[in-house]
């Protein structure tokens, strides 16, 4: 069995609709330039409020991917 080493990077996803969409945007955008993404963890959730209404969502996402030699 070969050892697997993973690297972690953090990205912030944005969405005007939901935390789920912000998370999806973060992972799918990272996947355009990061190879071998295996899993992710959404760790922080924030949003903007204007005139008493939620107007946008932000999610801090840790992206885990296999390290290549």
Global pTM reads 0.87
Reduced DSSP (H G I as helix, E B as strand, rest coil) percent helix, strand, coil of the chain, to 5: 15, 55, 30
> For the chain, which residues make up each domain, given as ranges?
6-66
Burial zone of 21 (CB within 10 Å; 0-12 exposed, 13-18 middle, 19+ buried): middle
Give the per-residue pLDDT at 3. 72
Above pLDDT 70, what percent of the chain? 96
46-67 pLDDT per residue, tens: 999 999 999 999 999 999 999 8
Which CATH class for the 6-66 domain? alpha beta
Task: Give 18's DSSP letter.
Answer: -
Report the C-alpha gap between 67 and 52 in whole angstroms: 44
Give the per-residue pLDDT at 1. 57
Give the per-residue pLDDT at 4. 81
- For residue 25, count other CB atoms closer than 10 A to its CB: 19
Give the per-residue pLDDT at 44. 97
């Amino acid at each position: 069995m070969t050892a697997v080493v993973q690297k972690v990077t953090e990205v912030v996803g944005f969405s005007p609709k939901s935390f789920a969409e912000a998370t999806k945007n973060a992972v799918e955008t990272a996947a355009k330039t990061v190879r071998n993404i295996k899993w992710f963890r959404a760790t922080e959730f924030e949003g903007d409020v204007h005139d008493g209404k939620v107007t946008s969502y932000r999610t801090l996402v840790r992206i885990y991917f296999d390290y290549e030699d």
